[in-house]
Amino acid sequence: MIYVVLGLQFGDEGKGKITDFLSDRFDVVVRFNGGGNAGHTVVDEGKTYKFHLLPSGSLRASTVVLGNGMVIDPVALIEEMKGVENLTTRTRVVISKMAHVVTPIHKTLDSREEQLRGRLSIGTTAQGIGPTYEDKYARTGIRMMDLLDRDIIRDKIETIYRMKEKLLEDTAYSDANAREKVVDELFDAGNKLGKFLQYSEDLIYEEYRKGHNIIFEGAQGTMLDIDFGMYPYVTSSNALSGALSLGAGFPFRKVNTVMGVVKAYVSRVGAGPFPTELTGTAADHLRDLGHEYGTTTGRPRRVGWLDLPMLKYAIKLNDVDTIALTKLDTLGQMDEVKVCTGYSRDGKPLEHIPRTVSETAGLELQFKSFKPWGKIGPDRDGKMVYEDLPAKARDYVEYIEKELGVTVGLISMGESRKSTIERMKH
């Protein structure tokens, strides 16, 4: 059984909880894109974990893989690993030798680039993601396997510095001693992580050959994809299901099920178009109900109504088989519930969803309203079945299914693993 779980909106759909829920059925959990910009919250026996680099399935799967498509801050990874009790005794942790390394210099570059973009700034997470992928494609990047050799680290740091000297003017890194300190830190981290480094694509394929179950976990969301998102307000990696082929070295043709995670409304952090965005007190109310504050940056998230045209686009791009719907309980507590059913301009329906700022100008949105269903619960001994949901909530779910032509196989509410309804066996 080979699965991929990924977000169909702007990230923060609740992928962490869904992957964690499914992960005891899988032997291997693999991340294939992004880095510390991701923030996946998982609650286990009352304890909250915020994963940025480790796959969310790390609490329960027997092997976790950080794939080559990721960009990894090795110092942050060591800290994150320490935060999970018995991780390395209970779980086989594998880090791709070929994953690229985020250094403090890349984080400084991220902030500098944002300043220089001025009014075109993206609102990045400042985790060095963009500059690290820039170095990867410029072929000046540092890879995890380089961390085992101090001279290679130094050569690469100095090359990056020479190429980016202008950008790094007046920062701590214009001082050669500060750069040497980065070399030391990276070499030290490399020594600690060396035993986890492997050509992970070989291991993943071997697990597949043995008939083991593998789940690939996407980070960010389809609308943040570097190619298909709302460029330039996107992240620097591909976030689609097919990206696992490149970001983990595993053939996408062998994937059995693509699960798209959809929040019952939409949220977005950072700048960029957001057609169904709410403002004023309704936005404040939804943000507070859903605790919509960034896991990585703490920033308040922008919030808005579910956007069906955008979901249809995401379903097509990712070849989604089934949907995991999250935060249905949150949405039901609004005074009114709306769903965007279409876009038009000058009264004429749009053929494509808008993907740039200029394409969102003058947009008219069509909505369908639903009666709110209020709080959901109490559940049966902490375990719920679909029929426990209020009829109005079920109307919402069934409407979405019908419009999208995809079954909602999982419904997740609240933080606990138990408050997840499984309508289809996965």
Residue ranges binding ligand IMP (CB under 6 A): 10-12, 37-39, 122-125, 127, 129-130, 219-220, 224, 235-236, 269-270
In the complex, least distance from residue 354 CB atom to ligand IMP, rounded to whole angstroms: 17
**424: CB partners within 8 A, 6+ apart:** 322, 407, 409, 410
Q: Is 291 annotated as catalytic?
A: no
In the complex, least distance from residue 247 CB atom to ligand IMP, rounded to whole angstroms: 15
In the complex, least distance from residue 287 CB atom to ligand IMP, rounded to whole angstroms: 14
Nearer to ligand IMP, 113 or 422 (CB): 113
In the complex, least distance from residue 220 CB atom to ligand IMP, rounded to whole angstroms: 5
User: How many angstroms separate the Cα of 131 from the Cα of each of 37, 205, 400?
Assistant: 13, 30, 38
**288: CB partners within 8 A, 6+ apart:** none
Nearer to ligand IMP, 134 or 321 (CB): 134
Say if residues 128 and 107 touch (Cβ distance below 8 Å).
yes
Q: What is the dihedral of CA 232, 234, 237, 238, to 10 degrees?
A: -100
The full DSSP string for 229-243 is SSTTSS-SS--STTH
Name the active-site residue from 12, 110, 307, 329.
12
340 residue type, one letter: C
Q: Is 40 annotated as catalytic?
A: yes
Q: Which residue is nearest to ligand IMP (CB)?
A: 270
Nearer to ligand IMP, 123 or 342 (CB): 123
User: How many angstroms separate the Cα of 320 from the Cα of each of 169, 184, 257, 303, 326?
Assistant: 46, 45, 8, 24, 16
Name the active-site residue from 40, 52, 106, 426.
40
In the complex, least distance from residue 96 CB atom to ligand IMP, rounded to whole angstroms: 19
315 residue type, one letter: I
Say if residues 413 and 327 touch (Cβ distance below 8 Å).
yes
Nearer to ligand IMP, 207 or 292 (CB): 292
Nearer to ligand IMP, 94 or 269 (CB): 269
Active-site annotation, residues: 12, 40
